[in-house]
Amino acid sequence: MPRPVSDIPNLGPASEDGFARAGIHSAEELIALGPDAAYLRLMRAGTKPHFIGYYALVMGLQGRPWNDCRGAEKQALRKRFDALKASLGGNDKGRLRLEAALDEIGVGVRR
């Protein structure tokens, strides 16, 4: 039986809801995708990018507490996070909302 997303450290019910909207329904799916692909799907599903949420996910997938991220590691994760945001194509928030709405009713773009 698949484990809920909230079984991953640092992720709770709100994260579980967000990942479900992005089509990720189990801890196993999230682990298989990895943090970058999963967070990109989360943003494409309409979740506003948030650096702490991103690195909490990265730390959780490593079995570490969210506040364990410091120094050079945190700086490197910030660069990855910024690259993920940039890969969305700028500030096209209206398109992200439209994609999220289409995904929610089951007619969104298949990725």
Domain range 5-104, CATH architecture: Orthogonal Bundle (1.10)
Weakest-pLDDT range from 19-23, 33-37, 38-42, 94-98: 94-98
* pTM beyond 0.85, yes or no: no
Structure tokens at 6: 């909230």
Structure tokens at 85: 């945001």
105 confidence band (pLDDT: 50, 70, 90):
confident
Structure tokens at 101: 């709405």
Residues with Cβ within 8 Å of 69's Cβ and at least 6 positions away in sequence, in order, are 55, 58, 59, 77
